[in-house]
Amino acid sequence: MKGVEHIAGLKRIEAFSRDEMGMLCMDETRSVYPHQEVYGRYCTIEEYIDCPPEKVFEYLSDTRSLEEWTWSTRGFEATEDPDVYKGWDRLADDTPIFCKTISNRDAMTVDYHCAWDQGSHLWMIYLMRVVPAQLVFNKPGSVVLWSNCKHPFYENNPFPETASKERDTWVGDLWPFFRAGHVVEMINLKKILEHRHANEESLRPWIEDSKPNCSSAIAA
Amino acid sequence: MRPVSLKAIATAFPENVVNNDFFGEEGNRPQGGMFRGARERRHLAPGQTAVDLIAEASKDLAEQVGESEVRDVDIILTNVSIPDLPFTGCGAEVAKMIGANPTWVYDLHNHGCVSFISMVQLAQMLISTTSAKRALICNVQTAAGRIFRDEQVRKLPQAAVPGDGCGLALIEEGDYRPIEGITVKCFSDNASDMQIANSEGREWWEPGQEQFHIDFSRAKVARVVERGNQMVPQVVHEACQQAGITPDEIGTLITNQPNAIFLRNWRDALEVSSEQHVDTFEEHGNLFGAGIPVSLKRAMDEGVVNDSKYVVLGGFSHAGDYSAAAVIRWNKAA
C-alpha cells in the first residue's frame, strides 16, 4: 500500500520540524481576523446549552421547532412530499421556505435542507450537531455546533421564476449577516431549551395539542 | 514623484445646527444599522452655496499661512457632493474669490467620501509633472441641507446621517510633512450599487413633486457593510506598505465618517485605539468627502496628532466603488 510521502505539500513532522511548525503557527496566529476570511465561505457558530443532549436533539430534529427558535421562519405545514414541509420566511415579503429535516440519532446530527420559493432543489443546508457537554466541558448540558457553507446559489438565484416579482431581497445578499443572524437564533434556542429544562416544562408543547403532522424525517 | 507636503488645513460649516428632533418625534425617530443617526449635524441654508463655505474656510486658511500663500496656488481641485449648479463646477468661482490665477482647475465629481485622498494624489501628480508648486483642495458636502432636509425625505432613516461642511487643504512641493504613500482603488463591480429613487419613478433631472433619496435595500446594506469592513483596512495596509511602514506605526487614523459601526470595525481591524481614531460623526454626521479633512483638522486642533509619527487617512466611497488611503509623515512643527 502506498503511503502519503508522494503527495506534495503535506506538512508532517517527518519533514516539517517543530521549529518550522512553531514559526508557521507564530505567523498564522493573528490578533484579529477579517470577517471575510472567517465567515466568507463557511459560517460556523457554537453555543453551550444547559439542557441534556438527548432533549436538544429531540427538539432540533422536529421541524416545527424552527417556528420557535428561528427569527423569521413560521407556519410550517406538510406538503405532498411527506419529508418536506413548507413554511414562510418572514425575513422577506411573500417568501415560502421549504425544509426537509434529516437527523441521525446516533451521531446527534440534525441537518435542515431548505430553499426559498421552491421545494424541488433544497440547497440551503443548515448542518447542526449536538455534543454532550460532559465529554467536552466535563459538565452536564450540550454544545451545539452549527455550520453553513456558501453554496453558489447564494450569489445568484437560479430559480428567479419561482420568486415573487416585487421582492427585492435574495437570501444570499444577506450572507455577510449570517453570523449575526445565526447567533441571534442560537441564543433563542439556548433560552427556550434552558427555560423548559429548568422548569420541567414540555419540550415540544405542540405535540400535546396537535397531531404530530410536522415530526422529523429521521434517517439513521 | 516629487515630495509634497500638507501645509495647512481649514474648515467651515453652515450655522444651522440640526438635532435629532428634526427627524421625527421621540420613539419614531429614524434609527438602526447603517443609518444610525448622529447627535447633531449642520444643514446648508437655502441660498447658501458651496463657494460660500469655501470662502469662509479660505479666510481661516489665510489667517494660518497668510493671504498671499493662499492666492499663490497653481492648482484648484474641488469636490462638491450636490454642486451649486449643473454644467459648471465651482473651481473658477473659487479662483476668483481668493484672487488666484491658477493654471490647473478641476472640479471632480467622483470618489465621494475618499475624494480628499484622490485629490491629494492628483495634486501630487500635477506638482510632479508640471511647473505647479501649490494646490488648494476643496471638499464640500452639501447634500444634507439640499436633499435630506426635505419634508418627506427627512422621515427616512438615512436622512439623519448626512451633515454639511467644508474642508480645505493646501498641498505644496516640499518634504517637511510629506505624503509618503497614496493608494486609490476602483471596484467597478460595485459601480451601480448606489442609486437614487423617489416614489414618482422619475429621473432626477425630470420635473416632479418629490425629492429623491438614496436607494439602499436591506440586502444591499449587508453587502456594503461587508465591503466597507473589508476594503478600508485592506487599502490602509497597502498605503502603509507603499510608505514602508507597518500598521502598528499608525499614530493617528483619520477615516471617512459613514457611521459609528464602521468606525469601530476599522479601529478593531487596524488595532488602533479610539483615542487615536478621530470621530466627528457624532457632532457632524457623515460629511462625505469633507469628513476626512474635517477630521484631520480636528485631530490637529485637539493635539491628537502631536505625538504621531504617521497620520494615516483611509476610507471608501458610496457603495464601495472606490477605496483610498494615504500616509502622512507627521511633523508637528511644520
Domain ranges of chain B: 4-176, 180-329
Return the number of other C-beta atoms located less than 10 Å from residue B156's C-beta.
17
At a CB cut-off of 8 Å and minimum separation 6, what does A76 contact?
A63, A64, A66, A67, A85, A86, A87, A99, A214
Name the nearest CA neighbour of A63 among A101, A12, A23: A101
| pLDDT tens digits, one per residue of A44-56 | 999 999 999 999 9
The superfamily (CATH) of domain B180-329 is: Thiolase/Chalcone synthase (3.40.47.10)
Q: Is residue A4 one of the residues assigned to a domain?
A: no
Q: Which residues of A touch B (CB under 8 A)?
A: 31-32, 34-36, 168-170, 173-177
Q: Is residue A218 one of the residues assigned to a domain?
A: no
Residue A87 sits in a domain of what CATH number? Answer: 3.30.530.20
User: Three-state SS for B227?
Assistant: helix
Q: Is residue A148 one of the residues assigned to a domain?
A: yes
Q: Which of A87-101, A197-211, B259-273 has the lowest mean pLDDT?
A: A197-211
In this complex, is the C-beta atom of B197 within 8 Å of any C-beta atom belonging to chain A? no
Interface test with B, best of A31, A36, A156 (most B CBs within 10 A): A36
- For chain A, the 3-state helix, strand and coil shares in percent, each to the nearest 5, are 35, 25, 40
> B271 and A31 in contact by Cβ < 8 A?
yes
| Higher-confidence position of A157 and B24 | A157
Q: Is residue A130 one of the residues assigned to a domain?
A: yes
Q: Is residue A179 one of the residues assigned to a domain?
A: yes
Give yes or no for residue A198 having a pLDDT over 60.
yes
Which of A32, A169, A174 has the CB atom closest to B268's CB atom?
A32
Global confidence as pTM: 0.85
Q: How many domains does chain A have?
A: 1
Which of B217, B223, B268 has the CB atom closest to A168's CB atom?
B217
Q: At what angle do helices B50-65 and B91-98 cross, to 10 degrees?
A: 40
Architecture of the domain made up of B4-176:
3-Layer(aba) Sandwich (3.40)
Q: Please report which confidence band the pLDDT of residue B24 belongs to, taking 50, 70 and 90 as the band edges.
A: low
Q: Which helix (H) or strand (E) holds B328?
A: strand B322-329
Please give the residue range of the domain that contains residue A195: 36-157+164-202
Q: What is the CA radius of gyration of chain A?
A: 21
Give yes or no for residue A90 having a pLDDT over 60.
yes
Search chain B and give the residue with CA nearest A39. Answer: B226
Q: What residues of A are in contact with residue B220 (Cβ under 8 Å)?
A: 173
Q: Is residue A25 one of the residues assigned to a domain?
A: no
Length of chain A: 220
Interface test with B, best of A90, A169, A184 (most B CBs within 10 A): A169
| Higher-confidence position of B73 and B22 | B73
